[in-house]
């Protein structure tokens, strides 16, 4: 079916959950409440690394209205974690970062719970701490986890001491490659802690029933993963844990893992009352899952005419006190060091490192902005040194259809050249350095990259109701990535109905089919494919139902115009659904999808949990900006994104994803940073943590490229994560074009620019 024939998919239709959200009627997890509910608060460590020598809750427990206080001594000592089971619910003997949970209180009001936390008496014995990744790797450095060797971990991980995971990729002959190079360049780049910046804080409400089953209403992105994790830390069969997501006010990867759900569940269990916990801004900035800081070193060799020959790279990634997704994120950085460029000789290593800081996580496009900032900054440095236009340098080296990726996998549906040319044309690239502009210096920069569409299973239940409407039940949470509207457009297209005829339900792990989760740019892609599978089954059922009535072959029956048609025969979908209920069990189907893993060369990778990427997408960002000659302040004049989306299921939806991703990328590029000093966060509030506002955002010009993927619905590719990858590099390159100053550490603040210009002037 060609694009122009589609009635619903590919159209700029309104979100099916939009009215409730803009009118304030939509119920989010933070809105949810239960009768008789208590309020929970967490006592958090004031030390970065210390032994707990005394914990006295007696005064707090005596306060009127306090119902329960829990600490490590009150619950089973179960360790949990994503890649390494290294984290306790409450710190038992040792705290490993400032902000780690030590005890939890449930009380009849939030104010009483807060007072009880303040009344808990605690004493520490300080222990040696390590806050710098490179220091943590030195012989004799303090161990964040002295018993690291006793932890359960994924078999693929290579661990030792303060290293929670180490991965590598290699191809060709790196020594021979460098030997034949015309020039070799070495650079070091650093990036910072960045919070995902979701509007709704992490929230959980837990309640137990008389059968010993627990229900948790929360705003997790991974309901089924949360269900299993809660079963583990509560020492229950998974069948006795129910997770419901009423609504989620932003996630961006920051709500993939447990936040406060386990605390709420334990408090509710002991107090025999429902308990609600909502994090504060301070808690979000001290104990959440921000983007990991990195130190990236690159050594790249080229020919005289600007062809990449050899590259060697190392990524150090700061996990904080617990591994969480750090080893996997560090491994993903290796593909970022590689692509989207053909490099015959390469050797990349990633090291995920423990430090005595808050645990980090999988913020949107994990490893993407960090690796891209290093690679694309160095590409410009090399091109300028060789006297080659940076756009031309990229075009000489980017992937072509059928090239081999770093793991030996075949790269297909390649659109990187088109995205580069269209973004450059749109920004007016020929005038890359416009020069002085009324007390400001003006310049243009671009950055390109690639990304994957994550796999994992998705399932849907689809039912055609007697009134002709359709209900779809999915296990995927809607966080703006198309779990509802995008997938519903595909389903409506397949069933011949309008988008308004599709009803979608909230996720409830007791009722919804399994879904891998709202992550990895996979939601509309995977759920959409599951909807196609369910629709195919429904068409089969309908054909078998009405074919004998009309004396036609079942496969000749079509669904169109809210009806069922074969030749001159026609029934409305409502009539067929009602007939099915009278003669059978109704029109109900179950569709599933899991993306196949591509073939790769295992000799090229070591200890990598995701060595080959699926359904690649390609994208280029271009920016025109001005830098104040005195203050160093950056003003963005124009911002262009050329992104390959495969097939635009809903162009408006996709443009919204791009605009939001660019906003987050601009924040990482210019202002956002969780600032640590001696293990303490100095800016644990939304005044000093500088996220961009609408007043800081330029208009984002979107160019949607449609180079169909093999596996996506109608050729769609994942679109949610790529928009935040390139802004730091594109902006750094534009600043360098404008000022001649190259900043190799994020964020690129006005102060850094001004100081660098003064230094150059000296």
- Helix-strand-coil split of the chain, %, nearest 5: 30, 25, 40
Residue 394, C-beta contacts closer than 8 angstroms, at least 6 positions apart: 341, 379, 383, 420, 448
pTM, full prediction: 0.97
pLDDT at residue 4 greater than cutoff 80: no
Contact 370, 294 (CB under 8 A): yes
Which residue bears the tokens 């075949």?
A: 410
- Average pLDDT taken over every residue of the chain: 96
- Tell me what pLDDT residue 762 has: 47
Q: pLDDT tens-digit profile of 89-109?
A: 999 999 999 999 999 999 999
Burial 111-142, CB ≥16 within 10 A → b, else e: ebbebbbebbebebeebebbbbbeebbeeebb
What are 255-302's pLDDT values in tens digits?
A: 999 999 999 999 999 999 999 999 999 999 999 999 999 999 999 999
The pLDDT value recorded for residue 3 is 43
Backbone angles phi, psi at 173, to 5 degrees: -130, 100
For residue 65 the two structure tokens come to 């209205």
- Measuring CA to CA, which residue among 340, 300, 294 is closest to residue 187? 300
- For residue 443, give the 3-state DSSP assignment: strand
Give the distance, in angstroms, between the CA of residue 392 and the centroid of all CA atoms in the same chain: 32
**187 has pLDDT over 70:** yes
CATH level 3 topology of 32-127+199-250+255-286: Aldehyde Oxidoreductase; domain 3 (3.90.1170)
Return the structure tokens found at 666: 């601009």
Contact assessment for residue 314 and residue 243, using Cβ atoms and an 8 Å cutoff: no
- Residue found by looking up tokens 């619950």 in the block: 75
> Residue ranges per domain, the chain?
3-27+455-593, 32-127+199-250+255-286, 294-453+600-761
DSSP string, 82-135: SSB--EESS--SEE-STT-EEEEEEESSHHHHHHHHHH-EEEEEE------HHH
Question: Which CATH class, in words, describes the domain spanning 294-453+600-761?
Answer: alpha beta
Q: Cα(99)–Cα(679) distance, rounded to whole angstroms?
A: 10
Q: According to the model, what pLDDT value does residue 484 have?
A: 86
Residues 643-674: pLDDT tens digits?
999 999 999 999 999 999 999 999 999 999 99
Asked if the model's pLDDT at residue 2 lies above 70, the reply is no
Closest C-alpha among 336, 228, 326, 375 to residue 729: 375
Which tokens belong to 75? Answer: 């619950």
CATH code: domain 3-27+455-593 is 3.30.365.10
Q: Are 319 and 360 in contact (CB under 8 A)?
A: yes
pLDDT tens for 695-726 read 999 999 999 999 999 999 999 999 999 999 99
Mean pLDDT of 538-544: 97
**Sequence-separated (6 or more) residues with CB below 8 Å from residue 239:** none
Environment class of 585 (CB within 10 Å of its CB; exposed 0-12, middle 13-18, buried 19+):
exposed
Confidence bin at 1 (pLDDT 50/70/90): very low
Report pLDDT for 21.
Answer: 87
Q: What pLDDT digit, counting tens, does each position of 456-479 carry?
A: 999 999 999 999 999 999 999 999
Confidence band for 483, pLDDT divided at 50, 70 and 90: confident
Same fold, 32-127+199-250+255-286 and 294-453+600-761: no
Tens digits of per-residue pLDDT, 230-258?
Answer: 999 999 999 999 999 998 999 999 999 99
Looking at the chain, the whole-number percentage of residues with pLDDT higher than 70 is 99
């Amino acid at each position: 079916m060609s694009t122009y024939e589609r009635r619903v998919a590919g159209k700029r239709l309104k979100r099916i959950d939009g009215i409730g959200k803009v009118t304030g009627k939509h119920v989010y997890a933070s809105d949810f409440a239960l009768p008789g509910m208590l309020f929970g608060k967490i006592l958090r460590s004031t030390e970065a690394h210390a032994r707990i020598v005394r914990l006295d809750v007696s005064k707090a427990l005596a306060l009127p209205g306090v119902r329960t206080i829990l600490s490590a001594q009150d619950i089973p000592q179960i360790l949990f974690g994503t890649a390494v089971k290294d984290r306790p619910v409450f710190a038992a003997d040792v705290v490993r970062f400032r902000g780690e949970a030590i005890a939890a209180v449930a009380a009849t009001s939030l104010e009483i719970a807060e007072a009880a936390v303040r009344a808990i008496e605690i004493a520490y014995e300080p222990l040696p701490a390590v806050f710098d990744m490179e220091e943590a790797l030195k012989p004799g450095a303090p161990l964040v986890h002295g018993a690291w060797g006793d932890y359960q971990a994924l078999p693929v991980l290579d661990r030792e001491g303060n290293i929670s995971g180490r991965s590598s990729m290699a191809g060709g002959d790196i020594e021979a490659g460098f030997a034949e190079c015309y020039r070799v360049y070495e650079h070091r780049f650093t990036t910072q802690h960045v919070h995902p910046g979701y509007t709704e804080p992490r929230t959980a409400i837990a309640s137990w029933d008389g059968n010993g089953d627990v229900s948790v209403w929360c705003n997790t992105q991974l309901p089924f993963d949360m269900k299993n994790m809660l079963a583990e830390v509560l020492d229950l069969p998974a069948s006795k844990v129910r997770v419901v997501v009423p609504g989620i006010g932003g996630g961006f990867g920051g709500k993939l893992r447990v936040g406060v759900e386990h605390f709420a569940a334990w408090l509710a269990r002991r107090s025999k009352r429902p308990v609600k916990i909502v994090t504060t801004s301070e808690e979000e900035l001290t104990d959440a899952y921000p983007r990991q800081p990195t130190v990236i070193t690159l050594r790249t060799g080229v020919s005289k005419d600007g062809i990449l020959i050899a590259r060697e790279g190392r990524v150090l990634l700061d996990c904080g006190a617990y591994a969480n997704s750090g080893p996997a994120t560090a491994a993903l950085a290796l593909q970022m060091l590689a692509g989207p460029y053909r490099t015959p000789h390469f050797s990349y290593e990633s090291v995920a490192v423990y430090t005595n800081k808050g645990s980090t996580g999988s913020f949107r496009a994990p490893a993407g902005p960090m690796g891209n900032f290093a690679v694309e900054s160095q590409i410009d440095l090399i091109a300028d040194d060789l006297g080659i236009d940076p756009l031309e340098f990229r075009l000489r080296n980017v992937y072509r259809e059928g090239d081999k990726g770093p793991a030996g996998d075949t790269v297909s549906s390649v659109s990187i050249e088109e995205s580069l040319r269209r973004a450059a044309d749109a920004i007016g690239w020929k005038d890359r350095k416009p020069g002085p502009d009324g007390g400001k210096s003006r310049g243009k920069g671009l950055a390109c990259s690639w990304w994957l569409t994550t796999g994992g299973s998705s399932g849907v239940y689809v039912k055609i109701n007697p009134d002709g409407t359709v209900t779809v039940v999915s296990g995927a949470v809607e966080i703006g990535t198309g779990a509802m509207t995008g997938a519903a457009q595909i389903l409506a297209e397949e069933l011949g109905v309008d988008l308004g005829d599709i009803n979608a339900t909230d996720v409830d792990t007791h009722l919804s089919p399994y879904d891998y989760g709202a992550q990895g740019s996979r939601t509309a892609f995977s759920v959409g494919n599951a909807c196609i599978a369910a629709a195919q089954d429904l068409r089969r059922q309908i054909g078998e139902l009405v074919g004998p009535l009309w004396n036609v072959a079942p496969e000749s029956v079509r669904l169109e115009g809210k009806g069922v048609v074969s030749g001159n025969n026609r029934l409305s979908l409502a009539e067929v659904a009602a007939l099915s209920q009278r003669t059978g069990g109704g029109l109900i189907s179950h569709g599933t999808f899991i993306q196949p893993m591509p073939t790769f060369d295992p000799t090229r990778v070591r200890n990598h949990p995701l060595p080959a990427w699926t359904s690649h997408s390609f994208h280029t960002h271009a920016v025109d900006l001005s830098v104040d000659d005195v203050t160093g302040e950056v003003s963005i004049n124009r911002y262009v994104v050329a992104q390959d989306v495969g097939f635009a299921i809903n162009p408006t939806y996709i443009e919204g994803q791009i605009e939001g991703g660019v906003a987050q990328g601009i924040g990482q590029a210019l202002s956002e940073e969780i600032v640590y000093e001696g293990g303490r966060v100095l800016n644990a509030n939304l005044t000093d943590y500088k996220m961009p506002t609408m007043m800081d955002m330029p208009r984002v010009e979107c160019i949607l490229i449609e180079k169909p993927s093999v596996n996506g619905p109608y050729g769609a590719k994942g679109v949610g994560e790529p928009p935040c990858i390139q802004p730091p590099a594109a902006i750094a390159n534009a600043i360098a074009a404008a000022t001649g100053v190259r900043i190799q550490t994020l964020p690129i603040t006005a102060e850094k620019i001004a100081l660098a210009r003064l230094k150059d002037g000296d």
